[in-house]
């Protein structure tokens, strides 16, 4: 059985942030380097206010740092929280791999 740890509370915010395709695309946009809010909004068919809301969700999850440079806000990726999410998913991957191995063993025994 996989045990939930108390620090997994941040995972809710991370998975919420990753749940929307625009937010995932924004993360991809800033993976290569910082982008202005205007540049991030450009490829999406939503208002600047909607993009701003998406940025707040990403920032609350710790995936995004916003730096003000005069009137321009630049967004930087902080990928560290993704490591927490990957660790959580890995525990479940191991659990399912063990179950599939047990099933394979059981099916092999039935064939004999």
DSSP designation for 33 = S
Domain assignments of the chain as residue spans, ordered by start? 7-111
- Architecture of 7-111 per CATH? Orthogonal Bundle (1.10)
Q: How far apart are alpha carbons 79 and 50 in whole angstroms?
A: 23
The pLDDT value recorded for residue 107 is: 84
Q: Please say whether the beta carbons of 81 and 10 come within 8 A.
A: yes
Phi, psi of 76 (to 5 degrees): -120, 140
Select from 56, 24, 60 the least CA-distant residue to 43.
24
CA atoms within 13 A on the CB side of 73: 14
pLDDT tens by residue, 63-109: 999 999 899 999 999 999 999 899 888 888 878 888 887 888 788 88
Q: Return the higher-pLDDT residue of 33 and 9.
A: 33
Q: What does pTM read for this prediction?
A: 0.75
């Amino acid at each position: 059985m996989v045990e939930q740890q108390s620090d997994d509370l941040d995972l809710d915010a991370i998975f919420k942030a990753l749940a929307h395709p625009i937010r995932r695309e924004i993360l991809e946009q800033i993976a290569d380097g910082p982008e202005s809010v205007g540049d991030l909004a450009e490829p999406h068919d939503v208002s600047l206010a909607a993009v701003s809301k998406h940025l707040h969700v990403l920032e609350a999850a710790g995936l995004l740092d916003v730096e003000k440079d005069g009137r321009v806000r630049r967004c930087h990726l902080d990928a560290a929280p993704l490591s927490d999410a990957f660790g959580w998913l890995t525990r479940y991957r191991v659990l399912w791999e063990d179950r599939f191995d047990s099933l394979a063993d059981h099916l092999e025994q039935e064939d004999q």
